[in-house]
């Protein structure tokens, strides 16, 4: 019968503060912190969708790193503000110094669409600085709608940035912008409202941003290369194990087949021997009948019996 051992630890009663009485979410968070501290574990506010975004963001970083390896110049130079950030995608390869049909260019179109390289410039800056959040807050208001001033960005532009960098869907991006602005009719978002939203309301979005940190620096590229080597090694090991298992299985099957063949041969020999015995027996009987040796033996036995009488 299956069973599970467990230990129940009763913690001291927790009395909520006035702030916790007024804010159930705060009370729940603090209770969770007490339980986690007792267990010796950490807490996280990430849900499943957040981890999906983090995973996808890491994948995008790797794709941009692969593009950088194919380029002769750093992306930070290729997307510098001195150069035009609006470009015909048919000339993108020439702009970045790579072949136009290079497979790694697909990540640029995914990030930027058809003509606008500002998103590529933004993620490149995120991937070359130590603090992605600080860089994001500064560069978003420089790259997009500079005509609105250094501390404002249009709602439309911010929705696009959130979709690209934070990997929000269209509905989530719109709701986020409405949440951090004065309402649906407000067409402009202030920098302080964006910072407050990310730090206090959606800190999980910041974790998605952090995936870009140092990704295009020498240390980041080296770490990515080591990661690729480890992944390749693991893949090769897995493939070798699979092939060894296949060889072992083939050997086992061959041995089993050999045993079956030996068994079949043994049965055939036995059957043949029985047939030979039957043939020989039939031949002897036939010979006796033809030579009359069987009758002579019978007559001899009759004479012997008469002499005894």
* pLDDT tens-digit map of 90-131: 888 888 889 989 999 999 989 988 778 999 999 999 999 999
What are the backbone angles phi and psi of residue 175, rounded to the nearest 5°? -65, -40
Residues of the chain where predicted confidence (pLDDT) is lower than 70: 82, 183-185, 223-236, 247-269, 271-273, 275-309
Is 51 in contact with 207 (CB distance < 8 Å)? no
Give the model's pLDDT for residue 226. Answer: 58
Buried b (16+ CB within 10 A) or exposed e, 120-150: bbbbbbbbbbeebbebbbebbbebbbeeeee
Is 56 in contact with 63 (CB distance < 8 Å)? no
């Amino acid at each position: 019968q299956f069973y599970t051992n467990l230990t129940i630890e009763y913690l001291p009663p927790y009395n909520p503060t006035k702030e916790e009485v007024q804010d159930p979410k705060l009370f729940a968070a603090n209770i969770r912190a007490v339980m986690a501290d007792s267990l010796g574990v950490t807490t996280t506010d990430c849900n499943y969708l957040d981890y999906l975004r983090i995973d996808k963001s890491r994948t995008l970083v790797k794709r941009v790193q692969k593009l950088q390896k194919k380029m002769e110049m750093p992306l930070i130079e290729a997307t510098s503000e001195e150069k035009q950030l609006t470009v015909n995608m048919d000339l993108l390869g020439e702009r970045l110094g790579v072949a136009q049909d290079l497979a790694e260019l697909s990540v640029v179109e995914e990030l930027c669409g058809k003509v606008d390289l500002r998103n590529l410039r933004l993620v490149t800056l995120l991937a070359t600085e130590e603090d992605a959040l600080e860089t994001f807050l500064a560069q978003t208001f420089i790259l997009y709608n500079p005509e609105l001033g250094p501390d404002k960005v249009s709602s439309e532009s911010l929705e696009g940035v959130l979709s690209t960098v934070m990997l929000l869907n269209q509905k989530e991006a719109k709701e986020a912008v409405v949440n951090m602005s004065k309402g649906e009719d407000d067409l402009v978002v202030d920098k302080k409202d964006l910072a407050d939203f990310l730090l206090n309301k959606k800190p999980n979005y910041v974790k998605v941003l952090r995936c870009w940190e140092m990704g295009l620096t020498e240390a980041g590229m080296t770490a990515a290369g080591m990661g690729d080597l480890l992944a390749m090694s693991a893949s090769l090991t897995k493939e070798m194990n699979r092939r060894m298992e296949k060889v072992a299985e083939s050997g086992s099957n061959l041995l089993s087949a050999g045993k079956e063949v030996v068994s079949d041969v043994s049965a055939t020999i036995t059957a043949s021997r029985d047939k030979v015995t039957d043939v020989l027996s039939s031949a002897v009987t036939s010979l006796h009948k033809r030579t009359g040796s069987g009758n002579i033996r019978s007559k001899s036995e009759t004479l012997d019996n008469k002499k005894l009488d």
